Amino acid sequence: MGERTAPEAAARAAELDDRAMRGEGAPGDAMEALAIVWLAYFATPSEAPPMPVMDMSLPCYSGTWESIHDHLARETLAVRLGRVPTPTTFALGAESPIPPRHGVASAALIPGAVTEILPGCGHFPWLERPGVIRAALLSVHGRASGQT
């Protein structure tokens, strides 16, 4: 995200995020940080929709990231994904700031999972190209059932 944001703005967002992760600051600070990087989530920032109005719980935010880091360190996700029994599709924006290779790697751990890389999309494909998620799922379903 920092690479897609002006250096001064990225530094401000990082400062605000660090405070939120330490449980300091206020929810407004975390929302300011998100607003700074909002455009970086999109393949074409100039066409990004306005950031929606929302609230944020700092304890939930920091707790979620602590849990994520803990599970990554213990590799619980890698172990448990192999036990997912349901059909799974990863629809990944080709231009997401979170490179699609990470979703592809996660999908590879789930038996039978498939990936759809969506060109012209960032992290929120449904906002950038309404209908693209449905089309991707229909495409996968058609392949799985032998339909075209």
User: Could you give the CA distance from residue 60 to residue 86 in angstroms, rounded to a whole number?
Assistant: 28
Average pLDDT, the chain: 90
pLDDT of residue 148: 45
Q: What pLDDT, in 10s, does the model give residues 79-132?
A: 999 999 999 999 999 999 999 999 999 999 999 999 999 999 999 999 999 999
Look at residue 67 and tell me whether its pLDDT is greater than 60. Answer: yes
pLDDT of residue 145: 56
User: Could you give the CA distance from residue 112 to residue 86 in angstroms, rounded to a whole number?
Assistant: 9
Percentage of residues in the chain with pLDDT exceeding 90?
A: 70
pLDDT of residue 56: 84
pLDDT of residue 29: 86
pLDDT-derived band at 58, boundaries 50, 70, 90: confident
User: Could you give the CA distance from residue 86 to residue 103 in angstroms, rounded to a whole number?
Assistant: 17
Arithmetic mean of pLDDT, 56-73: 89
Q: Is 140 helix (H, G, I), strand (E, B) or coil?
A: helix
> Pick from 114, 106, 112: which is nearest to 139 by CA?
114
pLDDT of residue 147: 52
